[in-house]
Amino acid sequence: EAGVTQFPSHSVIEKGQTVTLRCDPISGHDNLYWYRRVMGKEIKFLLHFVKESKQDESGMPNNRFLAERTGGTYSTLKVQPAELEDSGVYFCASSQGWGRGNEQFFGPGTRLTVL
């Protein structure tokens, strides 16, 4: 069974440009999460989808970030316009259910560099 996949693995863009990250969860997992690690700090939660609905987006830093999960399958995270402080590694995770007893499976991450 394929794990969580993310594309691209690495993206280098200039400040002010737009970047779209993609995450494909494990097949059958209704729950999809985005996290990021920026500036060498701890990994932090961004948001949580249940199918196509946003269950919790309390971690989204500002309105330059837009996450979508049309059809409840793959998800995209768009950063527009990108700023220098957005550089870091963006992780996606998925789980079958959520809450107690549900392991989150993480993808390999997308390393974003904003110059």
Site track 61-100 with other proteins (rule: CB under 8 A), x = hit: ----------------------------x-x-x----xxx
Residue 27 CB neighbour total at 10 angstroms:
9
Q: Does 18 bind other proteins (CB under 8 A)?
A: no
Q: Does 108 engage in binding with other proteins (CB under 8 A)?
A: yes
Identify the residue among 12, 43, 66, 84 touching other proteins (CB under 8 A): 43
Q: Is the C-alpha dihedral spanning 17, 113, 29, 95 positive or negative?
A: negative
> Among 23, 48, 79, 82, which residue sits at the site for other proteins (rule: CB under 8 A)?
48
Among 56, 60, 76, 78, binds other proteins (CB under 8 A): 56
Binding segment for other proteins (CB under 8 A), chosen from 21-29, 37-45, 60-68, 71-79, is 37-45
Neighbour-count burial of 96, counting CB atoms closer than 10 A to its CB (0-12 exposed, 13-18 middle, 19+ buried): middle
SS3 111: strand
Rule CB under 8 A: choose which of 28, 41, 62, 70 binds other proteins: 41
Give backbone dihedrals phi and psi of 105, rounded to 5 degrees, phi first: -105, 125
Q: Tell me the residue type at 91.
A: F
